[in-house]
Structure 1
Amino acid sequence: MGEAANGALCEEIREALRMIIDPELGRNIVDLGLIYDVSVEDGGIAHVSMTTTTKGCPASQYLKEAVRNCVWYVPGVEYAEVRLTYEPAWTPEMMAD
C-alpha cells in the first residue's frame, strides 16, 4: 500500500470515528479533538493516538474500545492499535468549531 493509499485510509478512519459520541459532552470524538493522530502501516495496521477530556474519565476504557472496534471495521484495516495519552492534556480549545 502506497503513501497516498495510506493517507486515504487515515481519512476514512477519521471519518468513521465521527460516529463515536463522547457520553459526557454529546459530540463526536473527532470534533472534540480527542483523536491526536491516525497512521496506517503497510499491511493495514492502523495506529490511533487519542485522549479523553479528563485523566480519570470514567468513559476512558469505553472510548478506547469503541475506537478500536470502529477502526477495525474500516475496509483495508487488518489490525487496530489504540494508544491513550494525556500529553498534551486535552483542552476545550482543541474542539472544532
Structure 2
Amino acid sequence: MNDEIETKPRESETGKPADDTAAANMALAQGEAAQTSAIPPEELSRLTDDIIGALKSVYDPEIPADIYELGLIYKVDIDDSRDVDIEMTLTAPGCPVAGEMPIWVENAVASVEGVGQVKVELVFDPPWTPERMSEEAQVAVGWF
C-alpha cells in the first residue's frame, strides 16, 4: 500500500504552494519530473528513498512490522532547505509509545545524509485502520 511517500505541498496563506520544492515533492510522488525545485530531481529522489529506508527502520513494538509498511506515515514534505515535516499516526490513540514513537521517527529521519531539521506531527484524522497496511505488513502479522 505504501509504495511511495505521499507528499502534500505546503501552502502559504494564499492557499498556494509555499515553495517550488513542495510542488516538486508532489510531482515526485506522482511519478512526474520535478523541474522547479531548488533540490535537483536526482537528489530529491535519493532523499525520498533514504527517508523511506529510515522510516522502515522504526518498528511498532507491539506489531512485528515497520511503521511505513503499517501505513502509519501519512505525509512527508521536504522543503528547499531539506527540512522534513512528517505527519504520522498510531495504530490506536492510546498506544503506550505515543510519546516516544515520534521521537524515534525524528531521530531515524534526521540520520539521513542531507536532511535538515525534522518535525514529526502526530495526527489521528483519518484514523488508522488495518487496510492501510501493505501486503508485506499483512504477511508479517500473519494475515496471509
Same fold (TM over 0.5): yes
Query: What is the aligned length?
Result: 97
Determine the structure 2 residue equivalent to 1:56: 94
Match of 1:87 among 119, 125, 144: 125
**Structure 1: 4+ residue segments shifted above 4 A:** none
Match of 1:33 among 71, 77, 93: 71
8 Å contact kept, 1:36–1:51: yes
Counterpart CA distance in 1 for 2:133 and 2:95 is: 17
- The one-letter code of the counterpart of 1:93 is E
- Percentage of matched positions with identical amino acids: 36
TM-score (norm 2): 0.63
Give ranges in structure 1 of 5+ residues lacking alignment: none
Determine the structure 2 residue equivalent to 1:2: 39
TM-score (norm 1): 0.92
Q: Deviations over 1:45-96 (max 9, x none)?
A: 0111100000111111211000000111100111000010001000000000
The DSSP-based 3-state class of the residue aligned with 2:48 is: helix
* Structure of higher RCO (CA pairs closer than 8 Å, 6+ residues apart): 1
Counterpart CA distance in 2 for 1:95 and 1:86 is: 16
1:37-48 matched pairs, under 5 angstroms = 37-48=75-86
Determine the structure 1 residue equivalent to 2:113: 75
- The one-letter code of the counterpart of 2:102 is K
Is the radius of gyration larger for structure 1 or structure 2? 2
8 Å contact kept, 1:64–1:84: yes
The DSSP-based 3-state class of the residue aligned with 1:12 is: helix
Give the C-alpha shift of residue 41 in structure 1: 0.4
Measured on the aligned residues, the alpha-carbon RMSD in Å equals 1.3
Counterpart CA distance in 2 for 1:67 and 1:3 is: 25
Give ranges in structure 2 of 5+ residues lacking alignment: 1-37, 136-144
Instruction: Considering fraction of residues, name the structure with more strand.
Output: 1
* CA shift in 2, pair 1:81/1:26, >3 Å: same
